[in-house]
A and B are shown apart, each in its own frame.
Chain A
Amino acid sequence: MHNPQLNKHGELQHLLTLDGLPKAILSQILDIAAPFTEVAEREVKKLPLLRGKSVFNLFFENSTRTRTTFEIAAKRLSADVINLNVSTSSTAKGETLLDTVDNLCAMQADMFVVRHASSGAPYLIAEHLQRTGRDHIHVVNAGDGRHAHPTQGLLDMYTIRHYKQDFTKLTVAVVGDVLHSRVARSEIAALTTLGVPEIRVIGPKTLLPTDIDRMGVHVFHDMREGLKGVDVVMMLRLQNERMNGALLPSSQEYFKFYGLTQDKLALAKPDAIVLHPGPMNRGVEIDSAVADGGNAVILPQVTFGIAVRMAVMSMLAGS
């Protein structure tokens, strides 16, 4: 089957998922991102790579942080950025997703950064652009349903590489609500591609997807057992609405068994790093002492995130 995110030369045409993305391209993005981290240190934080290009942030689901980092990344590359909160505009008036896209194409868009509550929505847009012969327009998935959040996965890989260098010697644990997490799916895909020999997922059965072990991970329900000797702890955000229902009884019980505390972290390697995609729920999935402690690399993740998004955008549409 044709992989919709690669063009016929095998180059990146859209960034839709990390699942199945060749290792060479994954590494290339991380390599390109490296020098971009320095741009932020300069007095003039701008490069002309996307000068004259229009990037549309097409957010069908509310987001401040991801949208902002994409906006900063695009602006540092000198693109014109247009932010659309579609959840509050066109679709509320009954316009279809593809009609919205066609209208923005008529405004000479060069790139769509898409967030949507429904898994696969960016594929629909990418396929529509291809079918209508608009190969010069690129799509970046900024999070679709539970499916993928590839730039988050990439920035996590960048962070791990920054602190740990070699992926092929690591033990990595992904902890929490994997079921609803697009971040977790992108992380697992990237870690697998980059050759991490042991990937663990930790959580109660209600928050782990069916047959997750077939994705090449080891499943742990006991967090203490799962954290033993790991190099990297990747925490996931637990949304409050998961608390009311049959998934979890209470945030207190969740924190007691699956919240990351100093005492549980002590089971990991002493130099283990702790990642979190944010926004954090302190006292629910992570204790403040850990979030603010020496093992946490949560704020560097945010900084690297801008560089990684610059790398993706410049690879797709850069001159």
Chain B
Amino acid sequence: MNIHIQNGRVIDPGNKVDAKQDVFIVDDKIAALGQAPSGFKADKVIDASGLVVAPGLIDLAARLREPGFEYRATLESEMQAAMAGGVTSLACPPDTDPVLDEPGLVEMLCFRAKNLNCAHVYPVGALTVKLEGKRITEMAELMEAGCVAFSQANTPIVDTQVLMRAMQYAATFGFRVWLQAIDPYLSRGGIAHDGEVASRMGLAGIPVEAETVALDAYLRLAKNTGVKLHVTRLSSAAGLEAIDRARAEGLDVTCDVGAHYLHLSDMDIGYFNPQCYVVPPLRSQRDRDALRRGLADGRINAVCSDHTPVDDDAKQAPFAESEPGMTGLELLLPLTLKWAKEQGVALPQALSRVTADAARIMGITKAGHLQPGARADVCVFDPDTLRTVSRDSLKSQGKNTPFLGLELPGVVRYTLVEGRVMFGN
């Protein structure tokens, strides 16, 4: 099928394109920008007047809850959420049940996802068996099965010798290792950012050092082993400074931040709102502001949803006993746009953090841009219209977000995956 998207503002950050022009899609690929290819005859015309035409979003962390947590969400429900959010490629962390530590499981997930024909799913394999931090996984086999990187999700490796060996082994093959900086001891028993708010509310604190102490170790080991390290879910100003220092010493390291960390701080916990319980914890306003600036100037390379659907029952518990996490696939674009507007970041630069930059971290070349020949994954959205987040408006099975009831900018009108219109009409 041939699709002609006309009159839109085409923003392709990876190719420095920002112009009003038409996009021509032939079958599953981008055929041309601007001028129609010779002999092009549209089967469908999408009028994108007043809208932005961008590469489909790439989300570095979306929990689809399969296998193992189907009561929280299923591939079907979360794929609908991805489509509604304009997310056409996503990486899913290995903390499923069972953990993504065997090639068979990864193949099964890829197979299930492929059959649904929605967003492209890129599993992140477990770095250690069962995420226990004791034995490394069959990384090469897992890579062949479809993994794009290896991680420990939210479960840090306690034994630093295992961590170093895992990095060495991954580096042998040039595999990417994605790690969230959590010191297992300094974070032990903690629930909220260790500061005035947690002290006042009597919530056990997680000091910033839980991030920086782990980060210092990871960065040194990355230098020693030569592994391609990507630091996930940075939460603090000091964490970002540690990355700056490592870069100044010549280490090639990337990092990302969850979209909600750009807007929330520990103050938002308010009267023990379990919707604000996340890992890592929401830190101080100073930390939040540093993350916002870091993403703007590119020291933080990408922003992701860290989508974690949690059922209502698991959130209706006292703060510390509730399940951590926020739903996010459908809020990734609005929260990124809100940050860009408030921070004075130009739209192409903001979109880069959820398209081209994210693709680079994931190591995929066929998506994240609109160059002729690229996969025709496209997100067409209205950047200015405000929409109120409501339980009914969210397609995800997880309604767990403190943004319910808030107006956010950005409404997705069409989502195309490999030249098929999967959302919008």
Contact = CB atoms under 8 A, between A and B. Distances in A.
A119 B320 contact: yes
B46 to A, nearest CB: 42
Contacts of B207: 210
B250 interface: no
B297 to A, nearest CB: 29
B205 A97 contact: no
B372 interface: no
B201 interface: yes
A98 B316 contact: yes
Interface string B190-210: 000011101111111101000
A209 interface: yes
B271 A120 contact: yes
Interface residues of A, number: 28
Given A96-B313, A96-B316, A118-B318, A124 B272 contact: yes
Contact of B271 (A123, A182, A209, A212): A123
B39 interface: no
Nearest to A1: B270
A142 to B, nearest CB: 15
B321 interface: yes
B205 A116 contact: no
B271 A215 contact: no
A295 B273 CA distance: 43
Nearest to A246: B185
Interface in B191-246: 194-196, 198-205, 207
A124 B318 contact: yes
Contacts of B319: 118-120
Given A96-B313, A98-B316, A215-B196, A119 B271 contact: no
Interface stretch (A143-151, A167-175, A223-231, A299-307): A143-151
Contacts of A128: 316
B271 A4 contact: yes
For chain B, what secondary structure do more than half of its interface residues adopt (helix, strand, loop), or is it mixed?
loop
A1 B270 CA distance: 8
Contacts of B1: none
B199 A209 contact: yes
A185 interface: yes
Contact of A210 (B199, B201, B318, B320): B199
B116 interface: no
B317 interface: yes
Contacts of B199: 209-212, 214-215
A121 B318 contact: yes
Interface string B316-338: 11111100000000000000000
A19 interface: yes
Interface residues of B, number: 22
A102 to B, nearest CB: 11
A210 B272 contact: no
Contact of A120 (B195, B204, B316, B318): B318
Contact of B272 (A98, A123, A211): A123
A150 to B, nearest CB: 12
Nearest to A4: B271
Nearest to A125: B318
Given A1-B271, A214-B196, A119 B202 contact: yes
A127 B271 CA distance: 10
A210 B202 CA distance: 11
B403 to A, nearest CB: 15
A148 B203 CA distance: 11
B318 A215 contact: no
A182 B318 CA distance: 16
Interface in A98-125: 98, 116, 118-121, 123-124
Interface of B: 194-196, 198-205, 207, 270-272, 313, 316-321
Interface of A: 1, 4, 19, 96-98, 116, 118-121, 123-124, 127-128, 144-148, 182, 185, 209-212, 214-215
28 contacts: A1-B270, A4-B271, A96-B313, A97-B317, A118-B321, A119-B201, A119-B319, A120-B203, A120-B272, A120-B319, A121-B318, A124-B272, A124-B316, A124-B317, A124-B318, A145-B202, A147-B201, A147-B202, A185-B200, A185-B202, A210-B194, A210-B196, A210-B198, A210-B199, A210-B205, A211-B199, A212-B199, A214-B199
